[in-house]
Amino acid sequence: MKLRTRFTDLVGIDYPIVQGGMMWVGRAELAAAVSNAGGLGILTALTQPSPDALRAEIERCRRMTDKPFGVNLTILPSVSPPPYAEYRKAIIDSGIKVVETAGHNPREHVEDFKAHGITVVHKCTAVRHALSAERMGVDAISIDGFECAGHPGEDDIPGLVLIPAAADKVKIPMIASGGFGDGRGLVAALALGAEGINMGTRFCATVEAPIHDKAKQLLVDNDERGTNLIFRSLKNTARVGKNSVSDKVVEILKQPGAQFEDVAPLVRGAAGRMLLETGDLDAGLVWAGQVQGLIHDIPTVAELVDRIMREAHQIIRRRLPGLAA
């Protein structure tokens, strides 16, 4: 049974469940599986080594699903940034209808996507950033609570407060991210004012996720305490899975005067990719959120989405009316 919200109507999906755009993970296998299951799958643009490779990945995804899917474009400050404008053009030329933007100063990209009729969902970690994106003209917000994997910002506001705080002020549809992995979370997000959920870590622990089985099992074995916050002293906080590498990064950055250069070899993106591809859990960082405490198996994407929706409907139809009575 479908569950309609403003967000599902906006992007044309059956269920208000979105797969986060994750580096090295947001590939056609996973995105197509999520879309086929009734959610919104997301390819990660910068996972592909070039704009032409992104074009090919989009076409590969289209061969695997006829349902809506989107592309994530994350803009990060860098001394030698990737050719963002060329990736943006590849997205536009490929006829993508939904884009998830994230990161630093996306205005140029948002304006171009909007000029080509593309629906833009912008990922934020604070109410003020969500309002800024809304003024910029994005169509929807993905609000990230402190529980999330990746960069949760520097305010340390968990979803239980951040989601309703944003819902009180943001007028456009909003989905909630950070800590979601089951039907209870979906119903809670809807109750707090969101129009759906965005899941990253939970979708990594699925059969179709294009990562090594040992990396998936790590997410099952870890609990809600199984993360580290790194780069805190550098004012660029990131939440990653707890392993020997992230433990070492935390210890190094505790030292007086420690700088990013002191941990750079440990946190290279290539090292994290090696972990995901080879299953060497000491190779680099694994990006994961506190939702690990709610992950107990590695189902197919279809099984996971079906389970979430069944749980959500049971809560809405059975438990909540009973409590009200």
b/e code 165-203 from CB counts within 10 Å (16+ = b): bbbeebebbbbbbbbbbbbebbbbbbebbbbbbbbbbbb
The span from the CA of 163 to the CA of 175, in Å, is 9
Q: Is 116 helix (H, G, I), strand (E, B) or coil?
A: coil
Helix axes 183-192, 159-167, angle to 10 degrees: 40
Q: Is the pLDDT of residue 79 over 90?
A: no
Mean per-residue pLDDT over the chain, rounded: 96
Residue with tokens 């389970």: 307
CATH architecture designation of domain 6-211 = Alpha-Beta Barrel (3.20)
The span from the CA of 101 to the CA of 87, in Å, is 12
- The H-assigned helical ranges of the chain are 6-11, 28-36, 51-64, 84-93, 107-115, 127-136, 159-167, 183-192, 201-204, 213-221, 244-253, 264-267, 269-278, 301-314, 320-324
Q: Is the pLDDT of residue 325 over 70?
A: no
Domain boundaries, the chain: 6-211, 227-287
Where is average pLDDT lowest: 27-36, 90-99, 316-325?
316-325
- Residue 91: partners with Cβ closer than 8 Å, 6 or more residues away: 45, 54, 58, 71, 73, 99, 113, 118
Residue 244: band (very low, low, confident or very high) from pLDDT cuts 50, 70, 90: very high
Greatest alpha-carbon pair distance for the chain in Å reads 60
Residue with tokens 């070492």: 248
Mean pLDDT across 280-294? 97
List the structure tokens of 166: 């944003």
Could you tell me which residues are beta bridge partners of residue 60? none
Could you tell me whether strands 174-177 and 140-144 are parallel, antiparallel, or unpaired per DSSP bridges? Answer: parallel
Residue 104: closest CA among 127, 129, 140: 129
Residue with tokens 């919104």: 40
Q: Is the pLDDT of residue 323 over 80?
A: no
Q: What are phi and psi of 153, to 5 degrees?
A: 80, -170
C-alpha neighbours within 13 Å on the C-beta side of residue 163: 31
CB neighbours of residue 134 within 10 Å: 19
What are 171-207's pLDDT values in tens digits?
999 999 999 999 999 999 999 999 999 999 999 999 9
